């Protein structure tokens, strides 16, 4: 009897009941009909216990950090940096759009924020350069899905929490797939550039850019510290080496880094260096988050709080682009958005209890195994299912609903749980850009003033690339598993 | 319809007022969460002496932030739903479906209030938090250990506010169904990013 909660939930979902209420109404109704009224109390308790979690706190923190960075005017710096790096390639501004999305992904982890921040800047600029508006909107929407794949990522925090995985492992596993989506889109733009005669490109390096004293020194220190620490981490020193030797090597590494940058000054123009320096401060955010987690200094939640502190430092003291008057609105936006996600996660934990009680995964596993026992075919079918779900439902709620049902089945079939998490996250994230309900399509339409249907047609070549990447990720586990394995976060 | 509008006006006013206060407390809560975790990072990694209270204090603030801010999102249409079916229907059936969905939501919320009240006032709420204390004297020599029910009340308050918003939305739906949508005060829209 209890297994009927799934069709009941699906019914509620399809007629438009908010997911939060559907996650509680369907199992609650079936428990009541089954005479298990006491277990309805268990549902309520699990909503509360589901929200009362330390790891979940990373969600509001990352949202807050992203919101502050975005308001603090870092988007323009990332675009300038991308333009200086990629602007000379054929289809230059489209390539800049994609690279900016990859860089932006390391700060916000939100496809919607990416589309709205980069789109409002790049779509008009692309139109002025001679691109069609629908093409500009389509490439903005298609590249924005990189946001939740490259860490930090809200949906990966949710997946990790609901499925009991390591946030750090998922973050690391998302890096190569995210970059792969970006590279795939760049290749497609290059191919389209010849075929559709996209506007000729030129390298754009802003001239006469000046930096404040504080920012100059902060950038100076950050680049040397990053490279120096990287060199130091590769030095073959045993753990038994004395602290004097360790310090000596660190100072040596910093001096080598300084030397390298002095050498680069002769090769690179002053203007290019200025643009890079302007991008250094915002680009430090992902380095801080991932570096902190990888070095074992912070937990992901603490790293998220440190990212907020860094965003405050950057916005108020380095760029001076934030004021105290901006803060209530920033905090309100981050709070309201997080509250909805946290309630959903709480309801998902309650839903997960009923999923276990009903033995739904076992029955579904039986059904799926009847279709085929070959994991490769099953992965193909599951990708198809996820893609269809992604067309109608946003990635976060879809993960909350499907994770507890599908995760255990594929883990039992021998698919690594982290690998499956990435397949699911990437597939559902791409769904954000698919019609008819792709969230970023609507945002791109609002930003560009182009019709959703027109963008939906123009985005098809890019979606084809993203589908190809999904299958690459699915059938080549090394793409997602290499970094977590190398860093000891996966076996 | 006049009767409905006269009931709707005070409920709308109370909701607007309560949610504004909720948002203000939520803003303080989210800022306090950041500060608490940063204090913990400082003490744990710089002073090598982790404090017992910041993690629990931050969770306390997060629960209250959720309870107090989620109703604002609900009122502004920020709860995730697949609304294709409703939008595909003609106007009147679409509005009736919308009212049905609000009625289902109300049922969930009313049951949740009953259970939530039992939880807060019942056995589970009588325990104390692990590490949260409030000073009860100006000399800071007397402390009150915060009961767990104060944390649990966050969800109950959230559910009560959601119920109040739900009732307002039902009344608005009824007024719209009766052709009085032009007499309704608009609800502010909000930028909703979700986890995506």
- Overall residue count recorded for chain A in this entry: 491
Query: What pLDDT, on a 0 to 100 scale, did the predictor assign at position A206?
Result: 65
Q: What are B53-102's pLDDT values in tens digits?
A: 999 999 999 999 999 999 999 999 888 888 888 888 998 999 999 999 99
Q: Taking residues A91-112, report their average pLDDT.
A: 87
| Chain A partners within 8 Å of B34 (Cβ) | 61, 64, 305, 308-309
**Percentage above 90 pLDDT, chain A:** 38
Tokens 């946030």: give the residue.
A167
The mean pLDDT value of chain A amounts to 88
User: Do A160 and A473 contact (CB within 8 A), yes or no?
Assistant: no
Rounded to a whole number, what is the distance in Å from the CA of B194 to chain A's nearest CA?
Answer: 6
Is A450 within 8 Å of chain B by CB? no
- Whether A57 contacts B35, CB under 8 Å: no
Checking if the pLDDT of B29 tops 90, the result is yes
Instruction: Give the residue with greater pLDDT, A128 vs A54.
Output: A54
Contact A480, A491 (CB under 8 A): no
Give the C-alpha separation, A78 to B88, whole Å. 41
pLDDT of residue B14: 94
Question: 3-class DSSP state for residue A445?
Answer: helix
State residue A358's pLDDT score: 77
Rounded to a whole number of angstroms, the distance from the CA of A203 to the nearest CA of chain B is 32
| CA A315 – CA A278 distance, rounded (Å) | 13
Does position B190 have pLDDT exceeding 70, yes or no?
no
User: Are A340 and B112 an interchain contact pair (Cβ–Cβ within 8 Å)?
Assistant: no
The mean pLDDT of A123-140, rounded to a whole number, is 89
The whole-number pLDDT of residue A48 equals 94
Q: Flag whether pLDDT at B192 surpasses 60.
A: no
pLDDT band at A145 (very low <50, low <70, confident <90, very high): very high
Residue with tokens 């609650």: A28
- Return the residue of B nearest to A157 by Cα: B195
B130 touches chain A (CB under 8 A): no
A42 in contact with B at a CB cutoff of 8 Å? no
As a 3-state breakdown, chain A gives helix, strand, coil percent values, each rounded to 5, of 80, 0, 20
Greatest C-alpha distance within chain A: 79
Who among A12, A113, A158 is closest to B193 (CB)?
A: A113
Q: What share of chain B is helix, strand, coil (3-state, %, to 5)?
A: 70, 5, 20
Q: How many CB atoms lie within 10 A of CB A167?
A: 25
Tell me: the pLDDT tens digits for A152-186?
Answer: 898 999 999 889 899 999 999 999 999 999 999 99
Q: Please give the structure tokens belonging to residue A412.
A: 């039992």
CA distance A399 to A405: 10
Residue B28: which pLDDT band, with cuts at 50, 70 and 90? very high
A219 touches chain B (CB under 8 A): no
| Spatial CB neighbours of B148, under 8 Å, sequence gap ≥ 6 | B124, B125, B126, B127, B128, B129
Most B CBs within 10 A among A45, A145, A336, hence the mutation to make, goes to A336
Residue B162: name the closest of B122, B85, B107 by CA.
B107
> In the prediction, which pLDDT does B196 show?
64
The model carries a pTM of 0.88
Q: How confident is the model at residue A227 (pLDDT cuts 50, 70, 90)?
A: very high
8 Å CB contact between A91 and A190: yes
Nearest-neighbour CA in chain B from A340: distance (Å): 5
Radius of gyration over every alpha carbon of chain B, rounded to an integer in angstroms: 21
Residue B56 has a pLDDT of 95
Q: Please, which pLDDT band fits residue A453 given cuts at 50, 70 and 90?
A: confident
Beta-strand runs (E) in chain B:
128-135, 143-147
What is the pLDDT, as a whole number, of residue B109? Answer: 97
Give the pLDDT of residue A273: 85
pLDDT of residue B193: 52
* Cβ of residue B92 closer than 8 Å to a chain A Cβ: no
Across B27-39, average pLDDT: 96
State the Cα torsion A376-A381-A383-A384 to the nearest 10°. 150
Alpha-carbon dihedral angle through residues A285, A291, A297, A301, given to the nearest 10 degrees: 50
A29 touches chain B (CB under 8 A): no
Q: What is the 3-state secondary structure (H, E, C) of A323-349?
A: CHHHHHHHHHHHHHHHHHHHHHHHHHH
Query: For residue B184, how many other CB atoms are within 10 A of its CB?
Result: 14
CB contact under 8 A, A61 and B37: yes
Report the C-alpha gap between A319 and A113 in whole angstroms: 20
CB contact under 8 A, A342 and B66: yes
- pLDDT for position A204: 64
Q: In this complex, which of B38, B68, B80 lies closest to A394 when CB atoms are compared?
A: B80
pLDDT above 80 (res A443): yes
> What is the model's pLDDT at position A372?
83
């Amino acid at each position: 009897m209890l297994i009927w909660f799934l069709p009941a939930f699906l019914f509620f979902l399809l007629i438009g009941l908010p997911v939060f209420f559907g996650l509680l109404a369907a199992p609650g109704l079936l428990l009541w009909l089954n005479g298990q009224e006491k277990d309805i109390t268990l549902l309520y308790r699990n909503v509360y216990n589901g929200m009362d979690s330390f790891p979940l706190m990373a969600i509001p923190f990352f949202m807050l950090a992203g919101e502050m960075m975005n308001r603090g005017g870092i988007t323009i710096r990332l675009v300038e940096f991308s333009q200086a790096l990629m602007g000379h390639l054929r289809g230059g501004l489209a390539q800049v759009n994609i690279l900016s999305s990859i860089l932006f992904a390391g700060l916000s982890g939100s496809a919607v924020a990416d589309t709205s921040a980069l789109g409002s800047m790049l779509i008009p600029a692309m139109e002025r350069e001679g691109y069609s508006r629908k093409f500009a909107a389509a490439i903005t929407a298609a590249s924005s899905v990189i946001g939740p794949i490259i860490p930090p990522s809200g949906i990966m925090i949710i997946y990790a929490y609901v499925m009991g995985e390591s946030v750090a492992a998922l973050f690391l596993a998302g890096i190569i797939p995210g970059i792969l989506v970006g590279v795939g889109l760049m290749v497609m733009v290059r191919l389209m550039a010849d075929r559709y005669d996209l506007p000729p490109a030129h390298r754009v390096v802003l001239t006469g850019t000046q930096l404040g004293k504080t920012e100059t020194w902060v950038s100076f220190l950050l680049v040397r510290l990053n490279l120096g620490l990287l060199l130091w981490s590769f030095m073959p020193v045993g753990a038994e080496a004395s602290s004097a030797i360790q310090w000596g090597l660190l100072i040596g590494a910093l001096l080598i880094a300084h030397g390298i940058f002095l050498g680069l000054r002769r090769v690179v123009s002053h203007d290019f260096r200025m643009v890079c320096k302007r991008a250094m401060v915002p680009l430090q955010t992902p380095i801080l988050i991932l570096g902190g987690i990888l070095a074992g200094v912070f937990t992901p939640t603490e790293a998220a709080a440190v990212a907020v502190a860094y965003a405050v430092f950057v916005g108020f003291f380095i760029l001076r682009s934030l004021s105290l008057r901006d803060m209530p609105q920033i905090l309100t936006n981050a709070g309201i958005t997080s509250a909805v996600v946290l309630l959903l996660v709480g309801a998902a934990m309650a839903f997960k209890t009923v999923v276990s009680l009903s033995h739904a995964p076992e029955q579904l596993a039986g059904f799926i195994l009847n279709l085929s026992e070959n994991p490769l075919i099953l992965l193909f079918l599951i990708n198809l299912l996820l893609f269809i779900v992604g067309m109608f439902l946003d990635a976060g709620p879809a993960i909350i609903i499907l994770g507890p049902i599908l995760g255990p089945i594929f883990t039992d079939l021998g698919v690594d749980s982290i690998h499956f998490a990435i397949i699911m996250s990437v597939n559902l994230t791409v769904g954000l850009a698919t019609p008819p309900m792709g969230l970023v399509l609507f945002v791109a339409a609002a930003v560009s003033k182009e019709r959703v249907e027109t963008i939906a047609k123009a985005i098809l070549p890019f979606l084809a690339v993203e589908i190809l990447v999904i299958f690459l990720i699915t059938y080549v586990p090394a793409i997602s598993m290499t970094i977590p394995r190398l860093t000891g976060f996966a076996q | 319809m006049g009767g409905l509008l006269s009931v709707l006006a005070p409920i709308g006013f109370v909701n607007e007022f309560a949610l504004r206060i909720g948002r203000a407390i939520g803003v303080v809560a989210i800022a306090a969460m950041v500060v608490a975790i940063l204090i913990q990072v400082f003490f744990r990694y710089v002073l090598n002496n982790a404090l017992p209270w910041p993690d629990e204090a931050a969770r306390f603030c997060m629960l209250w932030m959720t309870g107090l801010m989620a109703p604002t999102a609900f009122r502004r249409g920020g709860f995730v739903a697949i609304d294709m079916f409703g939008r595909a229907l003609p106007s009147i059936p679409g509005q009736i479906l919308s009212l049905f969905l609000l009625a289902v939501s109300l049922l969930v919320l009313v049951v949740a209030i009953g259970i939530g009240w039992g939880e807060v006032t019942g056995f589970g709420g009588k325990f104390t938090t692990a590490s949260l204390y409030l000073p009860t004297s100006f000399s800071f020599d007397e402390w009150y250990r915060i009961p767990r029910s104060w944390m649990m009340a966050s969800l109950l308050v959230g559910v009560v506010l959601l119920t109040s918003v739900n009732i307002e939305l039902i009344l608005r739906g009824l007024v719209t169904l009766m052709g009085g949508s032009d007499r309704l005060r608009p609800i502010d829209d909000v930028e909703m990013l979700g986890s995506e």
